[in-house]
Structure 1
Amino acid sequence: MSVDAQTKPRQRFEWVRDFEFGATSLVYRKTGVRVPYSKPIRQEFIAWLRYFLAVRRETRRMPGAFTIAFSPDPGRPWYQMWSVARLAGGKLAPAAEADVVFHFEDATMSPNAPPAHKPGAKLINFGCTDISKGRVEQAFAETFGYSLSLNPTLHIGPAVEKSELNAAHDGRIVACPVIPAPGKTYQRVVDNRIEDGLIEDLRCPMVGGKIACVFVKHRPVATRFSNTNSFVKVMTAEQIFTQEEQAKIGEMSLRLGLEVGGLDVLRDRNDGRIFVVDANKTDMGPPIALPLQEKLKSGRMIAKTFREYVLAHFPARGA
Structure 2
Amino acid sequence: MHHALWWKDFEFQDGVVTVKKTGARLRLEPGLIGEVLSWFPFYFVVEGWRLRRSSRSGPKIWFAPDRPRPWYLIWSVLHAAGARIAKSESEADAVFFFDDSTISGAVDCPSSARAINRHCQSIAKSHVGTVFEQCFGYPLNVDPAHFRGELVRKSEANGAHDGQIIQGPCVAEPGFVYQRLIDNSIDGGLVEDLRCPTVGGQIPLVILKRRPRGDRFANSNACVKVVETHTVLTAAEQAQLAGFARAMQLDWGGLDVLRDNKDGRLYVVDVNKTDMGPPIAMAMDDKIRVTQRLATAFLDFLRPTAVLEQRTRP
TM-score (normalised: structure 1): 0.91
- Whether the aligned pair in 2 keeps the contact of 1:103 and 1:114 (CA below 8 Å) is no
1:148 corresponds to: 140
Displacement of 1:23 in angstroms is 5.0
2:292 corresponds to: 300
Show CA shifts across 1:97-151 (max 9, x none): 1101100010100022224x3x421110011001001110111111111111111
Report how many aligned residue pairs link the two structures.
304
Displacement of 1:190 in angstroms is 0.8
- Whether the aligned pair in 2 keeps the contact of 1:155 and 1:176 (CA below 8 Å) is yes
Q: Is there any run of 5+ residues in structure 2 with no aligned partner, and where?
A: 308-314
1:134 corresponds to: 126
Show CA shifts across 1:255-310 (max 9, x none): 10111001100001121111111001000111111011111111111111011101
Displacement of 1:20 in angstroms is 1.9
Task: Identify which range, 181-190 or 257-266, moves more after superposition.
Answer: 181-190
Q: C-alpha distance in 2, partners of 1:37/1:168?
A: 17
Q: Structure 1 residue 203 and structure 2 residue 195: aligned?
A: yes
Aligned to 2:162, the other structure's residue is in SS state coil
Aligned to 1:295, the other structure's residue is in SS state helix
2:15 corresponds to: 24
Which of 99, 120, 125 is the equivalent residue of 2:93?
99
Q: C-alpha distance in 2, partners of 1:88/1:249?
A: 25
Which of 239, 244, 260 is the equivalent residue of 1:247?
239
Q: C-alpha distance in 1, partners of 2:213/2:166?
A: 15
1:9 corresponds to: none
Q: Is there any run of 5+ residues in structure 1 with no aligned partner, and where?
A: 6-11
Q: C-alpha distance in 1, partners of 2:38/2:249?
A: 32
Mapping 1:42-121, distance limit 5 Å = 42-62=33-53, 63-93=56-86, 94-115=88-109, 117=110, 119-121=111-113
Displacement of 1:239 in angstroms is 1.4
- Whether the aligned pair in 2 keeps the contact of 1:87 and 1:299 (CA below 8 Å) is yes
TM-score (normalised: structure 2): 0.93
Give 2:73's aligned amino acid: Q
Q: Structure 1 residue 291 and structure 2 residue 283: aligned?
A: yes
Q: C-alpha distance in 1, partners of 2:69/2:197?
A: 18
Give 2:209's aligned amino acid: K
Show CA shifts across 1:31-62 (max 9, x none): 12223332111111112111110111134222
Structure 1 segments, 4+ long, off by >3 Å, are 312-315
Which of 245, 250, 274 is the equivalent residue of 2:266?
274
Aligned to 1:210, the other structure's residue is in SS state coil
Mapping 1:165-244, distance limit 5 Å = 165-244=157-236
- Whether the aligned pair in 1 keeps the contact of 2:24 and 2:159 (CA below 8 Å) is no
Q: C-alpha distance in 1, partners of 2:304/2:39?
A: 31
Give 1:43's aligned amino acid: G
Give 2:245's aligned amino acid: S
Displacement of 1:212 in angstroms is 2.2
- Whether the aligned pair in 1 keeps the contact of 2:61 and 2:92 (CA below 8 Å) is yes
Q: C-alpha distance in 2, partners of 1:163/1:253?
A: 22
- Whether the aligned pair in 1 keeps the contact of 2:63 and 2:98 (CA below 8 Å) is yes
